[in-house]
Amino acid sequence: MKLTLHTDYSLRVLMTLAILADRRVTVDELAARHQISRRQLMRVSATLIRLGFVNSIRGRRGGLSLAKPPGEISLGAVVRATEKDQELVPCMSGGSCVFTGICLAAHALCGAFAAFIQELDRITLADAVRNRSALSQRLGFSAYLH
C-alpha cells in the first residue's frame, strides 16, 4: 500500500506541530521547512482543521496548532481519516471481479490492511516525535525549543 501525498503531508504537518507544541506554526513556515508548495499545504491544513486534528487562528499572531495533545492522536486515525481509497484491490469495496466471493487472496489482503492500520493505531504523534530535538534541528527550528 502506498499512502497519498495528502496523507504523507498531513503526517508531516502534525509531526511538526507536535514538535513545536509551545507555539503556532504558519503555513508559510511549514512550506519553507518541508519544501512543499504553500498551495498544497493550505489544502492539507484545511483537511486537518475540518477533521479536528488542528486548530487555526487567523491574523498576525495566528497559525496552526494541534487541537489535541500529541499522545491522543494516533497515526492510524490520521491515515484512516485522510486516505480516501482504503481498498487495496477493487473487490474490497464491492468492485467486480470474476473471483469475488471465492477468492482467498481478497481475505488475506483485507487482513493485511487491517493489520497495517492496527499497527499505526499503536503509534501516537507523541511517539513519532520522541526524538523531538533531532527532528526540530532537521527542520531548522532548534532555536524555538526549550
Is 113 domain-assigned?
A: no
Is 22 domain-assigned?
A: yes
Is 104 domain-assigned?
A: no
Is 50 domain-assigned?
A: yes
Distance from C-alpha of 119 to C-alpha of 142, rounded to nearest angstrom: 30
What does 102-114 look like in DSSP terms, one character per residue?
T-HHHHHHHHHHH
For residue 143, the model assigns a pLDDT of 53
DSSP bridge pairs for 121 = none
89-90-93-95 Cα dihedral, nearest 10 degrees: -150
pLDDT class for 140, splitting at 50, 70, 90?
Answer: confident
Is 97 domain-assigned?
A: no
SS3 101: coil
Is 98 domain-assigned?
A: no
Angle at 122 between CA 23 and CA 136, to 5 degrees: 30
Q: Name the residue range of residue 47's domain.
A: 5-86+125-144
| Nearest CA among 19, 7, 9 for reference residue 127 | 19
Is 61 domain-assigned?
A: yes
Distance from C-alpha of 35 to C-alpha of 37, rounded to nearest angstrom: 7
Our count of domains for the chain comes to 1
Q: What is the pLDDT of residues 18-44, one digit of tens each?
A: 999 889 999 999 999 999 999 999 999
- By DSSP bridging, strand 54-57 and strand 63-66 are antiparallel
Is 100 domain-assigned?
A: no
Q: What is the pLDDT of residues 58-93, one digit of tens each?
A: 988 899 999 999 999 999 999 999 998 777 777 766
Cα→Cα distances 26→37, 78, 127, Å: 13, 20, 23
Distance from C-alpha of 29 to C-alpha of 35, rounded to nearest angstrom: 10
The CATH code of the domain that includes 135 is 1.10.10.10
Asked whether residue 145 carries a pLDDT value surpassing 70, the answer given is no
User: Which three three-digit cell numbers place residue 1?
Assistant: 500500500
Asked whether residue 117 carries a pLDDT value surpassing 70, the answer given is yes
Q: What is the pLDDT of residues 91-116, one digit of tens each?
A: 766 667 888 778 888 888 888 888 99
